[in-house]
Amino acid sequence: MMKTTKISGLKIPVRLVKIMLPVLCLTLLLSCKDDDQPLLETSMLQGKWVEKEPEDLIQFAGTNHTFVFREDSFFIKIESWTDVVEPGDPCEGCPGYGYAKGEYSFDLTTINFEGKIGLDSNFAEPGDSGRVLTYCVTYNYTLKSSSILVLGPELEYESITLVKE
């Protein structure tokens, strides 16, 4: 005769309980949502995001990014700067600005930008360099909150922390 156990007045075979209990536990574990990590949504992303550097980060050169996201397109202003300039250096007179535009897409872990860079400040072609290049960049990202997005979080020194304005 098969061993049974009573659960709420029902007789269930012990073997079935031993099989179903781990399956039920695994299902519950996988269905839990981490409320500390919000999900990125297109509507949340739309608008202007400005890079904020950590105050304790020592830098002698770098770039600062300003992103504007629309439903499926992006515009980026990239400011390049340096504190180390020697007379005759090609970077004399920095900061310099670069502009890019195109389309973006994202999934749960990455955001992909495809478009053109080398545009003028009106995002027309060409900019000061006279050359328009393909802009194709993919970042891993972490969404810290609905107003803080970190691109490239695995490389703290090179990451881009964007704050929504």
> 111: domain range?
42-164
Q: What is the pLDDT of residues 28-84, one digit of tens each?
A: 666 655 556 678 898 999 999 999 987 777 777 788 999 999 999 999 999 988 777
Tell whether 19 and 70 lie within a shared domain.
Answer: no
Q: What total of structural domains would you count in the chain?
A: 2
Q: What is the pLDDT of residues 74-132, one digit of tens each?
A: 999 999 887 776 777 666 556 688 999 999 999 999 999 999 999 999 998 888 778 89
Checking DSSP bridges between strand 61-69 and strand 47-51, what pairing results, if any?
Answer: antiparallel
Taking residues 130-150, what's their average pLDDT?
93
- Whole-angstrom distance, CA of residue 78 vs CA of residue 138: 16
Tell whether 76 and 99 lie within a shared domain.
Answer: yes
On whether residue 37 sits in a domain, the answer given is no
